[in-house]
Amino acid sequence: MGGAGHCHGPVGGRSWAPASGAIVGSWALPGARWASVGFNDALNHPDTREICISTLVDPRLGDNYPFDVVLKMARLARACTRDDPESRPTWVQVNRGRESVAVFLRTAAGELIRAGNVIARDGCWSFLKGGIFANFSGPAEILFEVIRGINIGARTQLWKYGLTMSHYNPLPWSNGDRTKMKTFTRKVSIIEKTPVRDLVTKGGRRIGTKEKGEIPGNICKQNCRGRCLISIKQTQSSFPFGCGMNHYIVENVDYQNWFASRFRYTTFTNEMKWYSTEKKQGQENYTIADAMVRFAKQNGISIRGHNIFWDDPKYQPDWVKNLSPNDLREAAAKRINSVVSRYAGQLIAWDVMNENLHFSFYEDKLGEDASAEYFSTAHQLDPGTRLFMNEYNTIEDCTDEAANPFNYKKRLEEILSYPGNQGILAGIGVQGHFSSDQPNLAYMRASLDILATTGLPIWLTEVDVGRGPNQAEYLEQVLREGYSHPGVEGIIMFVGPAIAGFNVTTLADKDFKNTPSGDVVDKLIDEWKSKPTEIKADSEGSIEVSLFHGDYNITIKDPVSNSLTRWNYNMIKDDTTGTVHIHINA
C-alpha cells in the first residue's frame, strides 16, 4: 500500500496514524520464527522504498509465551531481509514545529501498548527507539501517536522512514560468559635484558569496551622463561557497584560488618536530604550524616551525595512548603551553601535537583531556571564533584511520558546550556525503581542507548524491584542489563537488610541470612571481579591474562632463587601507556 504518511483525524486532542498512513497489516505474535509485512510508503521522499515490519521470535517459545521485542525505527537503505533484521536505522519527521510522537502496538482486544517516543521536528529526521514486553499473542497493529504541542488546531503530517521490529536479545549477559565477548589479546615480544629482569604488561581494549569490561593483559618476565610463577589478585573493582545505607548503620555493628564486607560505594537514602538536616528553620543538624561519612571513610567506601534539593512539594521540610518566593530563595541559598560546602571534596557525586521531570516546586516559585542556577552554585562550591539529575521511570516505565529519555536529554541540555554551566562535570542519574512485574528490558536498553548519546556517564542510582515471586530473578535481569550497557558507569541499589528497614528489596533477614535477592547480589559481586590466579610463565617468558579494570596485587616468584617481587597495579580503561615495566633485581 502507498501513502503520504498523513496523520488521521484528531481523537481527544491527539492524532493517530497507522504505520503506513493506513491500516497496512498485522502479524501473528509469536507464531513462526519470522513474520513480516512489506508495504510501500512515499514518506514525502523522492523515491518510494520498501518498508518491512518484522518480528524475530525465539523458536523455542510456545505460541502463548511472553517475549520481549525491541522496536527500532530506521531509514531503509535496502529492502528488509531475513538475515539482517537490525541493521537499518529508522526516523520520523513532522511537517511543522515540534511534536511528541509515540509508537504503540494495538492488540486484537484493543489494548494500546506504548513502545517508545521521540520529539519529532520539522526539517530533520528524529530517531525513535523503544521496546515492549508483549504478554499476548495474535494479530497486532503498529500505530503512531502525535500528541498535540505547539501546533494545536493545525493539521500535522507525520512522515516515517523505515520500521523494524526484532526479538529482544539479552546478550551480552544472558550466557554468563562475558569474558569471550570482552577479551582482546595482544602478544608481547620479549627483548632480552641483563642483568635486569622485566615484568612487562601490555593492556589493550576493543573500542567501546567500558570500564567494567574485561581488559586483557600480557605479562612477560625476561630471564624467567618457563619457571616463574606470577600471582594476580584483584583488591578492588573499578566499576562502582554499591548499595544505599541509612542511619541504622551508625550503631548496628552487624549492619556495619555486613555492608563493609560487600560494598565500596553508597548513597545515604535520606540522611543528607534537607528535611533530615534542617527540620526546623535555622537549626541545622548533620550529626547522623557526619557519622555515616566517617564510617564510609574508615571502610574505603565512596559516597554519592543525595540530594541537595527535591522538586517534589511533598518532600520539602515542613517549614519550607509555604515560604514566599523571596524567603524560599534565601533559605535555599543557605541550604546549598551549607551542605555542599560541608562535604566538598568528600563525595563522588551530587544529585542536585531530584525528580524535576515530574515536579517543579522550585521552578514554580523561583522561575524556570531554578534548577540550572543550583547546578551552577553547586559547581562553584565543589567543582571537582560530578553533578546529576536524578529521575524515576526513565528506564523503568515506557508509559511515563514526562520522564522519557528524550525529555530527560532536553531538560539536561537546558540546564547545561544555562550561562556559566558549560564547564560543569555532569552525569545522568536514573533511579531504577522497578515493579514486581516482568521488567521491560527492551525499553530499558533503548532508553540507555538514547541517554548514552549525550556522552555523559550514566548511573543507575536507586535500583530495587517490587516484592513478588520472581523478585530475585527480575533483580538479576535489571542489574545485568545495566552492568552490560557501555554507557552505564555505576550502579547503586536501594536495598539492604531487614533490620535497617529495607522492605521493598530485602537482601538479608533480621539474622543477616541472605534472601534470594541477597544471593543474587553476592553472586554478581563475585562474578564481576577477576578471580585470584597463579600462572607459570611460558617458554618465552610470558603469560596472557584477561582482567577486569581495577586494582591488583601482583607477585612474581622465581622458584630457583626463591625470590619474590610484589607490585601494585591499576588497570584502567583509558590507560594509553600500552607497556609497563617492572624491574626485578637479578
3-state SS of the chain: helix, strand, coil percent to 5? 20, 35, 45
Which residue is it, cell 546529576?
Answer: 388
In this structure, what C-alpha cell is assigned to residue 521? 547480589
Instruction: Determine the Cα–Cα distance for residues 288 and 294; give it in Å rounded to an integer.
Output: 10
Q: Quick one: 302 and 436 in the same domain? A: yes
Among 239, 291, 233, 235, smallest CA distance to 265 is for 239
Task: Give yes or no: residues 398 and 259 share one domain.
Answer: yes
154 and 301 housed in the same domain:
no
Same domain, 155 and 271: no
Q: How high is the pLDDT of residue 10?
A: 27
CA angle 60, 64, 66 (to 5 degrees): 75
Partners of 203 in beta bridges: 217
- Does 30 reside within a domain? no
Q: For residue 40, what is its C-alpha cell?
A: 510501500
- Residue 386 near residue 342, CB atoms below 8 Å: no
Strand 10-11 relative to strand 14-18: parallel, antiparallel, unpaired?
antiparallel
Tell whether 205 is covered by a domain.
no
* Bridge partner residues of 64 (DSSP): none
Verify that 279 and 393 share a domain, yes or no. yes
Separation CA 249–CA 153 (nearest Å): 58
Q: What total of structural domains would you count in the chain?
A: 2
Q: Does residue 98 sit within a domain?
A: yes
- Rounded to the nearest 10 degrees, the angle between the axes of helix 516-527 and helix 471-484 is 20
| 54 belongs to a structural domain | yes
Q: In angstroms, how far is CA 358 from the centroid of its own chain? A: 19
Phi-psi region of 447 (alpha: psi -120 to 50; beta: other; left: phi over 0): alpha
The pTM for the full model equals 0.77
DSSP string of 436-493?
Answer: SSPP-HHHHHHHHHHHHTT---EEEEEEEE-SSTTHHHHHHHHHHHHHH-TTEEEEEE
On the CB side of 455, CA atoms within 13 Å amount to: 2
Q: Are residues 448 and 315 both part of a single domain?
A: yes
3-state SS assignment for residue 331: helix
Per-residue pLDDT of the chain (586 residues; tens, 9 = 90+): 222 222 222 223 333 344 333 222 233 333 222 222 222 222 233 332 222 222 322 333 333 333 333 333 322 222 222 233 333 445 777 777 777 778 777 888 888 888 877 777 787 777 777 777 767 777 777 777 776 554 444 456 666 666 666 667 776 555 444 433 333 332 222 233 333 333 344 343 332 333 344 434 444 444 566 678 888 898 888 899 999 999 999 999 999 999 999 999 999 999 999 999 999 999 999 999 999 999 999 999 999 999 999 999 999 999 999 999 999 999 999 999 999 999 999 999 999 999 999 999 999 999 999 999 999 999 999 999 999 999 999 999 988 989 999 999 999 999 999 999 999 999 999 999 999 999 999 899 989 999 999 999 999 999 999 999 999 999 999 999 999 999 999 999 999 999 999 999 999 999 999 999 999 999 999 999 888 988 887 777 677 777 787 888 888 888 887 888 888 888 776 665 555 555 555 4
- Considering Cα of 483, then 484, then 487, then 489, what sign does the dihedral take? positive
What is the total residue count of the chain?
Answer: 586
Whether residue 254 lies inside any domain: the answer is: yes
What is the C-alpha to C-alpha distance for residues 85 and 74, in angstroms, rounded to an integer?
Answer: 11
Shared domain for 282 and 373, answered yes or no, is: yes
List beta partners, residue 309. 353
* CATH number where 364 lies: 3.20.20.80
Active site residues: 355, 462
pLDDT at res. 155: 56
| Domain residue limits at 91 | 38-161
- What stretch of H or E contains 578? none
Q: Quick one: 253 and 382 in the same domain?
A: yes
What's the CA gap between 54 and 82, in Å, rounded? 9
For residues 279 and 150, state if they share a domain: no
Among residues 507, 528, 549, which one ends one of the domains?
A: 528
**Gap between the Cα atoms of 495 and 517, Å rounded:** 9
Residue 14 lies in a domain: no
CA atoms within 13 A on the CB side of 232: 25
Residue 64 and residue 31 in contact, taking contact as beta carbons nearer than 8 Å: no
SS3 for 1-36 is CCCCCECCCEECCEEEEECCCCCCCCEEECCCCEEE
For 581, list phi and psi in degrees, rounded to 5: -110, 135
Do 125 and 250 lie in one domain? The reply is no
Contact 462, 419 (CB under 8 A): no
Longest dimension (CA), the chain: 87
Give the span between the Cα atoms of 358 and 391, in whole angstroms.
8
Edge-first strand listing for the sheet containing 214-221: 542-548, 214-221, 197-203, 579-584
Residue 347 lies in a domain: yes
Domain closes at, from 136, 161, 186: 161
> What is the per-residue pLDDT for 201?
41
In terms of domains, do 249 and 134 share one?
no
Task: Look at residue 207 and tell me if it is in a domain.
Answer: no
Rounded Cα distance between 454 and 103, Å, is: 23
